Amino acid sequence: MNTTIYHNPKCGTSRNTLALLRERGIEPEVIEYLKTPPSRETLLSLIKASGLPVIDIVRRKEALFTELGLDAPGVTDAQLIDAMLAHPILMNRPIVVTPKGTRLCRPAEQVLDLLS
C-alpha cells in the first residue's frame, strides 16, 4: 500500500500521525514539505482530494497568516494557494495520502480512517 505523509518533524500532530502509521506496519513516503514544498499542481491535487476548502489547508495559527493579511475579508483561494507555495510553513499538516483517500490528519487519529 503506497502511503505518503506531508510531514513537519517539529509538529507534534505530524509526529504522532507518522508514529500511528508505523505502529501499523506502514512505512510511508515522508515528504518534509518545508524542505521539499509541493508544486502548485501537487498542492491543488491534495486540496481537491481532501475535499476541504482551501482555507482549511492553511495554517491559520501561523503568525505569517496574519502578517500577510490572509485573514482579511475577500482573500481568494488563489491568494491562499500562492501564499502556501511561497511560504510552505502556511500549509496545515500532516496531510496523508493512501489508496483510501487524502486527509488532513488533525487530530492524528484521523489517519486511521485512511487505513484498511
Q: Which residues are catalytic?
A: 11
Pair 40, 65: CB distance under 8 Å: no
Beta strands in 13-70 (DSSP E): 29-32
31 three-class SS? strand
Peptide bond preceding 107 in cis form (omega within 30 of 0) = yes
Beta bridge partners of 98: 101
Pairwise CA distance, residues 14 & 4, whole Å: 12
